[in-house]
């Protein structure tokens, strides 16, 4: 249940965890569009340009009325934050994101106030 992203950020390949729901959607998409080289191809074939992906993302953000400033890269931050929130070890998140330095991973993960409230102070257990 992983998908290999070739030439991801920094021209590095990545293995990414694939959800079963997404796998179903990808299978439907593949059967409907029958891509030849790239999974997501432009209208005349070939890969989507970065700009096309950004435009599709921005149209979708407006359509679903998200007011916060978000970018395609925000999805990466959100994914990392959700992994952390569900208890995934930070070192696994670092590996998934392909970061060499844990400090970079920590920038991606945002801890919410509700998560902080759940932390027990070791002083209280004495």
Q: pLDDT-derived band of residue 113, with 50, 70 and 90 as boundaries?
A: low
Please list, in sequence order, all residues whose beta carbon lies within 8 angstroms of the beta carbon of residue 72, skipping any fewer than 6 positions away: 53, 54, 57
Mean pLDDT of 94-122: 79
Lookup: tokens for 79: 């994914």
- The per-residue pLDDT for 14 is 81
- The per-residue pLDDT for 104 is 87
pLDDT tens digits along 19-35: 999 999 999 999 999 99
Of 22-31, 94-103, 108-117, least confident by mean pLDDT is 108-117
């Amino acid at each position: 249940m992983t998908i290999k992203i070739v030439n991801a950020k920094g021209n590095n390949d990545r293995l990414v965890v694939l959800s079963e729901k997404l796998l179903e959607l990808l299978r439907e998409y593949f059967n409907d569009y029958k891509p030849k080289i790239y999974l997501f191809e432009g209208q005349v074939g070939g890969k989507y340009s970065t700009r096309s992906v950004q435009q599709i993302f921005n149209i979708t953000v407006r359509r679903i009325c998200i007011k916060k400033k978000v970018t395609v890269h925000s999805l990466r931050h959100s994914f990392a934050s959700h992994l952390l929130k569900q208890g995934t070890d930070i070192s696994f998140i670092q590996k998934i994101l392909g970061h060499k330095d844990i400090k970079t991973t920590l920038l991606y993960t945002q801890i919410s106030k509700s998560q902080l409230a759940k932390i027990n102070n070791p002083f209280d257990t004495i």
